[in-house]
């Protein structure tokens, strides 16, 4: 089915991961030189993702010995990432905004197709690179100027003309363009978490308005007041 319906650069999504057969099949198809990607989603019931899905496909990549004792060569031109999701309150408090920005980092890795972490022990940013792209997430907007050296280092690793993507925490939509003036020719800017909230606006259910019940006595009293006002 995948062979018929997919292209060499397809992104394949399976919301019922099971033992990971879809991912295994995707990696097999990539033997044709393709760059297909596969995302598996599971509720991890009975630890199936940790103990079965992940372990199975890790061995598929690394190589393993089958039940007959025959070595099976690994599909080494593939890689595997395992992420856990968490709930973040949709209330847009400053604390929740910062938490969402931090927790969204792995989603940005998937979006940008960048997974190799830029070496650093600092906690105010994370940066990632690949053969075709580089990006940085700045969690503390006060440290923008400190990011210039990292941005320049990421830019030096580039093998194409794509700019370095810079995601920066902001209270609103403004990504501090003027503060990045020194490195602006090297980058494209995006304010977080505003971009994430916008992406979810179309999929999240609307908040229900709180309905305050009115007692019958209060309603009668309001009608009498209105009547008296009209009479005057």
Q: Enter the tokens of residue 130.
A: 């690949």
Average confidence (pLDDT) over 37-63: 92
Examine the pLDDT at 216 and tell me if it is beyond 60.
Answer: no
DSSP letters for the chain = -HHHH--TT-EEEES--TTSHHHHHHHHHGGGS---EEEE----GGGHIIIIIHHHHHHHHH-EE-TTS-EE---TT-------------S--HHHHHHHHHHTHHHHHHHHT--EEPP---SSEEEEE-SS-EEEEES-GGGTGGGHHHHHHHHHT-SSSPPEEEEEE-SSS---GGGGGGGGGGEEEEEETHHHHHHHTTTSPPPPPPPPP--HHHHHHHHHHHHHHHH-
pLDDT at 92: 84
Can you tell me the distance from the alpha carbon of 44 to that of 19, in angstroms, rounded to the nearest whole number? Answer: 11
pTM of the model: 0.74
Ordered by start, the domain boundaries in the chain are 2-72, 94-200
Q: Enter the tokens of residue 116.
A: 């190799």
pLDDT at 146: 97
Q: Could you tell me which of 144, 154, 136 has the C-alpha nearest to residue 182? A: 144
pLDDT at 123: 95
The predicted-structure confidence for 149-161, as pLDDT tens digits, reads as follows: 999 999 998 778 8
**Percent of the chain topping pLDDT 90:** 55
Average confidence (pLDDT) over 202-216: 61
Average confidence (pLDDT) over 195-202: 80
């Amino acid at each position: 089915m995948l062979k018929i319906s997919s292209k060499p650069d397809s992104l394949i999504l399976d919301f019922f991961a099971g033992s990971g057969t879809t991912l295994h099949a995707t990696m097999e198809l990539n033997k044709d030189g393709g760059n297909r990607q596969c995302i598996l989603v599971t509720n991890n019931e009975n630890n199936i993702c940790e103990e079965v899905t992940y372990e199975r496909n890790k061995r598929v990549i690394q190589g393993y010995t089958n039940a007959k004792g025959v070595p099976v060569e690994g599909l080494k031109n593939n890689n595997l990432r395992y992420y856990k999701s968490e709930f973040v309150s949709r209330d847009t408090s400053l604390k929740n905004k910062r938490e969402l920005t931090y927790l969204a980092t792995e989603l940005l890795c998937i979006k940008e197709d960048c997974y190799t972490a830029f070496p650093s022990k600092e906690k105010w940013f994370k940066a990632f690179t690949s053969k075709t792209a580089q990006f940085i997430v700045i969690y503390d907007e006060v440290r923008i100027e400190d990011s210039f050296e990292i941005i320049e280092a990421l830019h030096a690793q580039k093998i194409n003309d794509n700019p370095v993507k810079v995601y920066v925490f902001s209270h609103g939509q403004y990504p501090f363009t003027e503060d990045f003036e020194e490195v602006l020719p090297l980058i494209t800017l995006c304010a977080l978490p505003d971009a994430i909230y916008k992406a979810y606006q179309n999929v999240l259910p609307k908040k229900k308005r709180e309905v305050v019940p009115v007692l019958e006595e209060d309603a009668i009293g309001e009608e009498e007041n209105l009547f008296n006002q009209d009479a005057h």
